[in-house]
């Protein structure tokens, strides 16, 4: 079984490769969309795709990977910047699953195998106002195809303020 890891974090990619290889899988990684498409020509059966890549969004790369690899390949999106909007969009674009960092290798492998429980976990408390704000920004950013200037304009916000918000880690529930 061959796994392609597409993530701009070199340390994470190396750790993931070691983990997959310990489990008996062959793994390679790409740090950007261009390299990912080149490595996709090797027809990996599984692709672990990060949403935040240096020059593009994993959401924009997802349809190209799906077309290149075909329906038999499993693509799992793994991100530290999760939101409902990106989860829905990733699924619509062909992702087989959507996971939030941090997660364990066993859960990723279960997701690739289709063994993960897909039923959503209902949170015990409603999301915070800050979390709702984060998700709204992510949805508007997605509607503007990742264009920060257009998103800032749509949100009636200064572009640099939006960039500062986006550079921070997402607010937890």
Per-residue pLDDT of the chain (173 residues; tens, 9 = 90+): 899 999 988 999 999 999 999 999 999 999 999 999 999 999 999 999 998 888 888 888 999 999 999 888 999 998 877 778 888 888 999 999 999 888 889 999 999 998 876 555 555 677 788 878 888 888 888 888 888 999 999 999 999 999 988 888 776 66
At residue 123, the pLDDT reads: 58
Domain of 155?
Answer: 129-167
Find the largest Cα–Cα distance for the chain.
Answer: 51
Neighbours of 107 (CB within 10 A): 15
Domain-embedded: residue 163: yes
Domain-embedded: residue 35: yes
72 and 138 inside one domain: no
The tally of CA atoms less than 13 A away on the side-chain side of residue 172 is 2
Domain-embedded: residue 119: no
At residue 23, the pLDDT reads: 93
The total number of residues written for the chain in this structure: 173
Domain-embedded: residue 172: no
Q: How many domains does the chain have?
A: 2
Q: State both tokens at 31.
A: 């740090």
Domain-embedded: residue 173: no
> Any idea what the CATH number is for the domain that residue 49 is in?
3.40.50.2300
148 and 104 inside one domain: no
At residue 173, the pLDDT reads: 62
Out of 67, 89, 113, pick the residue that ends a domain: 113
Q: What is the pTM of this model?
A: 0.74
């Amino acid at each position: 079984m061959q796994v392609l890891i597409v993530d701009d974090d070199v340390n994470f990619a190396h750790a993931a490769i070691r983990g997959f290889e310990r489990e008996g899988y062959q793994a390679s990684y790409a740090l950007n969309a261009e390299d990912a498409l080149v490595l996709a020509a090797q027809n990996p059966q599984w692709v672990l795709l990060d949403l935040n890549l240096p020059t593009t969004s994993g959401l924009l790369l997802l349809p190209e990977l799906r077309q290149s690899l075909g329906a038999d390949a499993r693509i799992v999106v793994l991100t530290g910047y999760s939101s409902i909007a990106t989860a829905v969009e990733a699924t619509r674009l062909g992702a087989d699953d959507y996971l939030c960092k941090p997660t364990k290798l066993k859960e990723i492998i279960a997701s690739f195998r289709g063994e993960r429980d897909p039923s959503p976990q209902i949170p015990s408390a409603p999301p915070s106002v800050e979390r709702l704000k984060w998700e709204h920004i992510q949805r508007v950013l997605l509607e503007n195809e990742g264009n920060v200037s257009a998103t800032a304009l749509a949100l009636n916000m200064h572009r640099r303020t939006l960039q500062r918000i986006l550079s921070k880690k997402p607010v937890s529930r």
